[in-house]
Structure 1
Amino acid sequence: MNPVPRYEALFKAGDLEGARREATQVHERNARDWRAMLTLARLALVDGEEALAESLLLGVTRAGAGEQRESRLVGAALHTRRGEWNQALELYRALVAEPSPPTEAFFGLGYVRVEQGDAAAAHAALAHAVSLEPRVALHHFQLARVLFLLDRLEEAFAHLELSLHLDPWHAPSYLVFARALEAGGELEAAEDLLRQGQKAVPDDVGLLKALADVRLARGNVRGAVSAAEARVRVEPEGVAALGHLARLRVTERRFLEALELCHQLEARGMSTGLSRSVEALVFEAREPPDVERALAAWREAVRLSPDDWMPPWRQALLLLRQVEDGPPEAVLPARALLAEAHHRAPQRPEPVLALARVEARLGARESARERLVVLLRHPSLEDDWRAQAEALLTELG
């Protein structure tokens, strides 16, 4: 049996730079060493360099090793990275059908099945990967994600705990765990977990954003801002980080600082729907409100964030305030915006209630009633929204 090359052992142990250094040295000495090329292809996938990984795999094939099990595993991983699920599935299914299939094939098969929406099949594959290599944190993490999809929450939490026990520096485990706690209303526990994760991985921007969000949900604006500021220190040029901090500056009513952050993005040609929304909120908050500039900013926010329901909804509300005492037809531009907001987020109650009020004003009372009846059928509708919808329905008669 051929000994495992040192670079492969280093890669498996997580020493990526050591693996890269040694595999590169071997490849420079022998350009046809397919195992070195394969390790470099794996590293290219880790780095997100798909074209380089594909080029190295072609080199492996030219060296006569394209049908080696390891080569097919890397090829399947490349298809997975590109979202080519059917090609990846074909390779992984062939690999798990072989005698003594590698754990990596079951893991990859489970991952692909999740992406294809087949949680039951994913569970079977990932559970087998865990049984084969129970000391790998990533196996427990992915299995936990599938268990959440299957509503097997207790088991999911157990596997997330194992994932963090095996790898306390795995930021995604903290994030998934915290989101599950938030969904269950356990905001304090979610914050505690995120703080623990942030101590373990202090520069992870995902953890910092989640920490800011959960603190804001708990009413701790200053704590949310502190996390957002830390995120900006980690990625000072990050568009999302700057936009997030700008939004929190509005919450603090530090409007000039919020605008300054938005202007930084605009000067770099990197304005986003969020930054334009922040500008609009600042202009609305002025005394008196700068309606013209607010509407212009909302229009840009609607354009820059085509999937976000909030900008068209907020722009519509501002327009409605301007025509409150005008003729019924004055609300038509706002109605179009509310229809767009409802199209973007059919389950959100805010656009539905606003649309019903606008349609009632236009005399389309039956259409307004139908919207409210449909909204009230949603079993997860919060009590406050349900009360508003019922009151408006009663008012319509």
Structure 2
Amino acid sequence: MNPLEKLLAAGQLAKAHAEAKKVLAHQPANREALVVLAKLTLLEGKLPQAEELIARLEAQGPSGDAVLLRANIAAQKGQLDVALKGYQQVLAKEPQRAEAHFGRGMMLIKQDKTEQALEALAKAVQSGPDNAVFRYRLGQVQLEAGKDEEGLATLRQVIAQQPGFMPAYLSLSHALASRDDLLGAKRVLEQGLKALPRHPRLLASLTVLSMALRDVNSSYKAASALAAQRPKDPDAQANLAQLMLARGQFPQVLHLCRTMDSLGLATESLKMAEATCYEAQEPPAYDKAVEAYEAGMGLAPDGWRAANNLGQLLLRMPSEPEGQHLPRALTVLEEAVRRAPQRPEPLLNLALALSRTGQEAKAREQVKKVLALPLPETDEVRQEAVRLEQALAKA
């Protein structure tokens, strides 16, 4: 596996994108870089750009890579039979081609051929054992098929194989939470934060889960009952949405949020839950998540949470060129601080954004404001502020 493919397999998409662009800048016909950049462009749903890259690849002669990429385009267009035919065409010549087994498995899932899909995905893992994405999707499909023990074990293997593969922590945590093992789900997120310190999505999930842990089963049952009794009560629905998020019930949460929106009863909390669902999609629907947070800001002119979360989202969203979303993140986080100047979370996030834009002096000012607040030594935000202060001192 070439270095670019290794980055892709490890889930380091932003780095793979940057490296592929560098290679093509010096070697416009480099096949490996064209293939990887085409794959990444497809992940972003940019079909015209992907087709242009594939055409450049095909100009160098027929190849299994080009057939695979064409099959991926057909899949995104909903042409399942065409895509399946492409994957099978590659497998006829390269029986051990892991990507072809994987693509075939994904098409079979969409055709509700679960057992065949599982078999294809298992072959993909066998042929490409170092690819965390293949194993990750196998685990997800095993869970969807009701093979709980196998699915949980597979997701744990992903984490053991690639400790930095963040989606595996979220999926495993959600799977455990949906089976009422909230303590187990919490431990998985804590493990993820050791491998990926301060990762916003892991922190957000851990926060929601910690809230639910105050009373595991009865809180969910009570929230469900209250929401059923008060279908037009935004607070009751938002409370249920938060507990459902902790259990990984994203489709149900999205339906709930859209229903309340259609009734003209959307709130900041519901829009934030909606945004979380969009970001949890594969691939993440970042544009929709941003729109939901913006709507949440408008619904609560004095609220700081949607603005704070939008700022965090902009900080972690991939972009080309890198750092494209930083100016907007700064603006949004400054607004969050304006709305709640004594809240430590937006102050800390603004400091992080400033540090990423090279404004160390201003970042230090924000950190000092956080540390001046009456927060206990064990408070996570305070501890993070201390770590950032130490990092800035070395800059």
TM-score normalised by structure 1 residue count: 0.50
TM-score normalised by structure 2 residue count: 0.50
Q: Which has the larger radius of gyration?
A: 1
Comparing both chains, which one has the higher relative contact order based on Cα–Cα distances under 8 Å and sequence gaps of 6 or more?
2
